Amino acid sequence: MQHVRTYGGSDGVAALDVAAVSHAYGPKRALDSVSFSLAPASFAVLLGPNGAGKTTLFSLISRLYDTRQGAIRIFGHDVTRASGEALRRLGIVFQARTLDLDLSVHQNLSYHASLHGIGSAEARRRIDAVLATVNMGDRLHDKARSLSGGQMRRIEIARALLHRPPLLLLDEATVGLDVQSRASILADIRKLVATEGISALWATHLIDEVEDSDHVVMLADGRVVANASVVEVVRTTGTGTIGEAFSKLTHKKSAPGDLA
């Protein structure tokens, strides 16, 4: 894996700090006093069924929605009061596909680089580096529409890394992909955290994407129902697996490998 240089954060400051965040759509409360933090150079899973509030939370972190209750900080920078400083430290991959299918991989990435004020020569160097990171260097001039779903996801991850953020958010990044593609992309993100010191928050509803060594933040009906290591969550709930623990905490039945 080629080295991806990132912005750093202050020592001892959380990569992401979510403090008592609530959000509502009219009378419907989507998030209810959500609080947790993510340490620098760490990987955590935001685990919850569809409709739990994961995408709403990511929309607040990325400033697609305004934070009206509570506070969100990225490496100490408040996303409302210092949005520029906060957001330049953030890379995000949303659930919906966002590549322009009629443009080449290079054109998609170059456009993103220009939005971040990266000059053409530097952009080309960074594009080569991030494509090597996601093992897509040979698809530089291919049209986005010619890529498989898994390859598109890799390009979107590469795009999120272009401006060298130290925090990466991925919202259901493997939705619609086959098992092998899901496992490969997730393994690449874990490796990126381990080798490059990036912090990553991986949102999913799929139990089989959670490893025993992971830290999990569980959401259900807009509330945090657990915030600990998988081992600790299983132990404190008196269950045998993280799937059983989730079912117990949310009083919902889950199909194998899926919380939906």
**Pairing verdict, β 69-74 and 167-171:** unpaired
* Tokens representing residue 259 in the block: 């919380």
CA–CA dist 245, 225 (Å, integer): 10
pTM of the model: 0.90
* Tokens representing residue 93 in the block: 């991959």
Cα 224 to its chain centre, rounded Å, is: 17
* Tokens representing residue 157 in the block: 């991850």
- Strand, helix or coil for residue 210: coil
CB atoms within 10 A of CB 213: 10
How would DSSP label each residue in 205-226?
S-GGG--TT-EEEEEETTEEEE
Beta-bridged to residue 1, according to DSSP, are none
183 closest CA partner among 171, 195, 175, 174: 174
* pLDDT of res. 252: 57
CA–CA dist 234, 93 (Å, integer): 29
* Tokens representing residue 162 in the block: 């272009």
Per-residue pLDDT of the chain (260 residues; tens, 9 = 90+): 445 555 555 567 999 999 999 999 999 999 999 999 999 999 999 999 988 999 999 999 999 999 889 999 999 999 999 999 999 999 999 888 889 999 999 999 999 999 999 999 999 999 999 999 899 999 999 999 999 999 999 999 999 999 999 999 999 999 888 899 999 999 999 999 999 999 999 999 999 999 999 999 999 999 999 999 999 999 999 999 999 998 999 775 444 344 33
DSSP-assigned letter for residue 14: -
Domain 1-89+167-260 has CATH 3.40.50.300: yes
Task: Provide the residue ranges of all domains of the chain, joining segments of one domain with +.
Answer: 1-89+167-260, 101-164
User: Which residue in the block uniquely carries the two structure tokens 């456009």?
Assistant: 111
